[in-house]
Chains A and B, each alone.
Chain A
Amino acid sequence: MRGWLAPHGRGHLWALIVGAWVLSVGVFFLLQVMPPRWRRPMIMLFTFLGGCFYSVEFFLPPNNFLTSYKEGFGNAWVVMGSFAMPLGVLNLSLVHVKKIATRSGSWGGSIVYFTAMAAMVTFCFWQQYWPKSKAGGQGFELLFQYAYMPLGATMFSILAFYIVSAAYRAFRISTAEAGLMAAAAFVVMLGQVPLGMWLTHGIPVESRWAGLRVEQIAHWILAGINMAAVRGVLFGAAVGSLAMALRIWLSLERGAYFDQKV
């Protein structure tokens, strides 16, 4: 079956693409015309079969009958993931088209959105497919390096200011535990920067007291205490992921959020 699915030539490839389209539309149409009481079990069946592949392949011994299909399935997932990317852009564009059409809210911003998108797309294609043209490259550089990058970095930089004001406002040593936490935070913060390292630079690195250097204490807090705590959290997250995966695979989530009687 794997040999039959691998395209031999252009004609076979197009036949597979068209066949996949027809099959998908057929399944979609079938789901629409099916009576509602059959639709849910059908969706549950597709979900279960879809999840079965990787689970069964993992639990069976190495080089089992499913292993050879892993690459093909993987490529199919990547293709589907690639299709999901423009969906977000399409949805956002529809929202802004509606805003412009109804002149609602800040519809001027919607015009800016389309202008920026058109400019970026134009220069991207220009510099990709006409690399010899300087204008394309310069336009792309202007928009990407001198607009997109600084905007992203600026938003991220606001965090630096916000963390200072948040830390100043929120950290109050009202209990012994809070005091301990503050002390640990001070040591770790100083241990990360040369200024903190300079405070204890008088203690030789080779001496038996080297462990009292602030960067050593900070490293011990991070690699010892913090590491143990994070590992515990990782265990919890891993078990939680397993639970989530099981619930989705076995369609146990349905009914939790939807299909509830109001």
Chain B
Amino acid sequence: MEHCNLQTGIVLGLLSLFILLNIIRARRGVQLFIRRLPGVAHIEEAVGRATEMGRPVLFCSGLGGVDVLTLQALAVLAHVVRIAARLRNRVIVPVFGGDPTLFPVTQQVVREAYASGGRPELYDESDIRFLSDQQFAYAASVVGIMSREKVATNFFFGDYAAESLLLAESGQHVGAVQIAGTPTTDQVPFFLATCDYTIIGEEYYATSAYITREPTHLGSLIGQDWGKILLGLLIVVGLAWAVIHGVPNWFSALWDPYAGGPRP
């Protein structure tokens, strides 16, 4: 639709209200519960394994630019780097060049994470590598890095497209432990087949909230859940109504402003 009608306005308004209300609640200190996420617990174990083997860790933040998906991947990156700092290990971060502003942002995140992990001297600028703005050139470069640096652990968090299988299967070939997290459903099967632990769908957003305990993320997540419950209830009510009464024209017309009339 080009403009909002009453029904869309009500639903959008309610969804926005749920999200903002829960962000405010979280910021005011209300304790919001997120269940334990299986993949997150293995992050420390995976970094520890790499340290024992004396090999570095690789963290890919996907093909996105400075958007919320990639920023959440960077939150996980900061967590990984803090663990690596504690264990005195390197984290190599290949950066996709589609959004040029992502590179300095990534550098800042890694530098601050090493510092907060108590090892600012471990930060090495050459470990944050600006690769290419082309999907497969980026993938080929990352595969090359995995082989040459002999990484022991790979993390794939962010927005991925067809190169996901290239990266993850190549990581399998070098014998790395792999943890992936992405909300993009079409790449999830490839990560599930090639990675040791996969964080999928909504768990991806929950991961950064779980790790950072940032009120905005927690509140937003709970607000989204309330919104999905509302949509689920609407579906159930609509389905029940359709089954009991059939679907009369007026019910269809409620949701289609052009039903039965001329279109502009």
A–B interface present (Cβ within 8 A):
yes
Interface residues of A (CB under 8 A from B): 58-62, 84, 87-92, 95, 151-152, 155-156, 158-159, 162-163, 165-167, 169-171, 230, 233, 235-237, 239-240, 242-244, 246-248, 250, 252-253, 255-258, 260, 262
Q: Please give me the 7 A-B residue pairs with the lowest Cβ-Cβ distance, nearest first.
A: A155-B136, A88-B133, A91-B100, A170-B193, A162-B169, A166-B193, A244-B68
Q: Which residue of A lies closest to B232 (CB)?
A: A235
User: Contact at A233–B16, with CB atoms within 8 Å?
Assistant: no
User: Contact at A61–B3, with CB atoms within 8 Å?
Assistant: yes
Chain B residues within 8 Å of A159, by CB? 162, 165-166
Chain A residues within 8 Å of B112, by CB? 260, 262
Q: Is B179 interfacial (CB-CB < 8 Å)?
A: no
Chain A residues within 8 Å of B51, by CB? none
Query: Once the chains are docked, how many angstroms separate the CA of A91 from the CA of B201?
Result: 32
Partner pick for A237 among B2, B169, B183, B194, CB 8 A cutoff = B183
The interface residues of chain B, by DSSP majority, are classed as: helix
Query: Once the chains are docked, how many angstroms separate the CA of A257 from the CA of B223?
Result: 20
Query: Once the chains are docked, how many angstroms separate the CA of A60 from the CA of B4?
Result: 7
Partner pick for B97 among A92, A165, A256, A257, CB 8 A cutoff = A92
Chain B residues within 8 Å of A158, by CB? 166
Query: Once the chains are docked, how many angstroms separate the CA of A240 from the CA of B202?
Result: 9
Chain B residues within 8 Å of A84, by CB? 99
6 A-B pairs besides A170-B192, A247-B68 with CB distance below 8 A are A59-B4, A166-B168, A247-B220, A248-B68, A256-B214, A257-B71
Give me 29 A-to-B residue pairs in the complex whose CB atoms sit less than 8 angstroms apart, sorted by A's number: A58-B2, A59-B3, A62-B264, A88-B100, A89-B133, A155-B136, A155-B139, A155-B140, A155-B163, A166-B194, A170-B193, A171-B193, A233-B201, A236-B228, A239-B15, A239-B228, A242-B16, A242-B19, A243-B220, A243-B224, A247-B220, A248-B68, A250-B20, A255-B216, A256-B75, A256-B212, A257-B109, A262-B112, A262-B116
Known: A58-B3, A242-B15, A257-B109. A252 touches B231 (CB 8 A): no
Chain A residues within 8 Å of B71, by CB? 253, 256-257
Q: Is B147 interfacial (CB-CB < 8 Å)?
A: no
User: Contact at B165–A156, with CB atoms within 8 Å?
Assistant: no
A243 to chain B, nearest CB (A): 5
Partner pick for B132 among A92, A242, A257, CB 8 A cutoff = A92
Chain B residues within 8 Å of A230, by CB? 185
Partner pick for A166 among B169, B216, B217, CB 8 A cutoff = B169
Query: Once the chains are docked, how many angstroms separate the CA of A61 from the CA of B6?
Result: 10
User: Contact at B162–A169, with CB atoms within 8 Å?
Assistant: no
A74 to chain B, nearest CB (A): 13
Q: Which residue of A lies closest to B235 (CB)?
A: A235
Q: Which residue of A lies closest to B100 (CB)?
A: A91
User: Contact at A91–B97, with CB atoms within 8 Å?
Assistant: yes
Partner pick for A239 among B2, B74, B224, CB 8 A cutoff = B224
Partner pick for B216 among A233, A239, A247, A258, CB 8 A cutoff = A247
Q: Is B205 interfacial (CB-CB < 8 Å)?
A: yes
Q: Is B122 interfacial (CB-CB < 8 Å)?
A: no
Q: Which residue of A lies closest to B144 (CB)?
A: A106
Chain B residues within 8 Å of A257, by CB? 71, 74-75, 109
User: Contact at B165–A162, with CB atoms within 8 Å?
Assistant: yes
Q: Is B175 interfacial (CB-CB < 8 Å)?
A: no
Query: Once the chains are docked, how many angstroms separate the CA of A247 from the CA of B216?
Result: 8
A63 to chain B, nearest CB (A): 9
